[in-house]
Homo-oligomer: A and B are copies of this chain.
């Protein structure tokens, strides 16, 4: 097959002064930052759905994107071209991973069997592309929200035939992810929630979702899939409410349904802000609970109320993310997946490439900044020092859980408790700026 993107050049590091829009200014894959290379830290991934399938549509407009396969009509042929295109683009961009939903990469079918057949063919092609190109699979997932059958959810559908179909679809997606050597598998419950609470039995739906994920976990073990299972929070959109609202909600869900040992989180920047949190908050919470798995690296517009999935170009976002990721000892089997789409008016292939460059450079700078903060030590030292009272005296007794209310009252009753120390927020914010 001939090249899909023959005009896209190999993108290489040229340093901050380059004028070449197809070069990295900051991302230098082999540069050591701390004890690992940038490539080892960042583990970038391209999202098949946005980069290959995205057309620049929105609820008020049709496709703007101009792509090499626009004139091809056979869906399987389009699927083959796109998959090769993905391997080309990731290789040219030195992005080591990709992610996909089952129905992104191969056409759906009248039946699950037919859909599986289409998927199998593309999976075969993908395996042969993996011999030709260095790109590997970060994670696979199943698209359980696009088809009309999923209008009321998949595992939480009021219709058990939909539940059953979804189970079959996820079973296949797990198999395929294993076959392609995926290091993770992701669950995102796009419609696991409700459009109106008036017609909803939340207790039953949550129990069914818990059961579904237990079956999925069991099946993954059964087939020997040794990747990490991940679940992704989002509070709303497309539905009015989704159960996997944020990390704290999922933390409760995993505990209730016995899933804390087997599932971690795939956390998306824009989903965090839709839930009213910063991405650093979500990563920090997941980190301290030991469930930080992987990241969907994009950014939202906090003045807009929907998922804009923009390419990450904000240095505050990427440096705060890398700070938490470094404190987590890295993402381990996870990675930074660009779940991001070019804007509707950025319709050329050049835009697509330059958007990834922008994201990679912004994360490279974020990594350097975060590593700088940690090596410098003032910021993490301030935090550690702030809680130092818990190492001595009454603080230590509290830390040791060796006191009761009665003890503490006795200790406190006649003390004139003074101000705690200043939080120094403004100073800390300016301290962060030193590293940008």
Contacts and interface: CB of A to CB of B under 8 A. Distances in A.
A287 B404 CA distance: 32
Contact of A63 (B58, B148, B157, B191): B148
A151 B64 contact: yes
Of A198, A276, A346, chain B has the most CB atoms within 10 Å of the CB of A198
A310 to B, nearest CB: 8
Interface stretch (A38-46, A78-86, A118-126, A247-255): A247-255
Nearest to A384: B201
Nearest to A167: B408
A303 B277 contact: yes
Interface in A8-23: 16, 21
Contact of A419 (B21, B148, B430): B148
A161 B394 CA distance: 7
Question: Oligomeric state, in number of copies?
Answer: 4
A433 B365 contact: yes
Nearest to A235: B276
Contact of A409 (B112, B152, B394): B112
Contact of A288 (B206, B248, B255, B274): B206
9 contacts: A60-B146, A61-B145, A149-B417, A158-B420, A196-B428, A201-B387, A252-B255, A310-B426, A365-B433
Nearest to A21: B427
A335 B244 CA distance: 30
Contacts of A433: 313, 315, 358, 361-362, 365
A196 B343 CA distance: 10
Given A383-B199, A414-B111, A406 B219 contact: yes
Interface stretch (A87-95, A128-136, A179-187, A278-286): A278-286
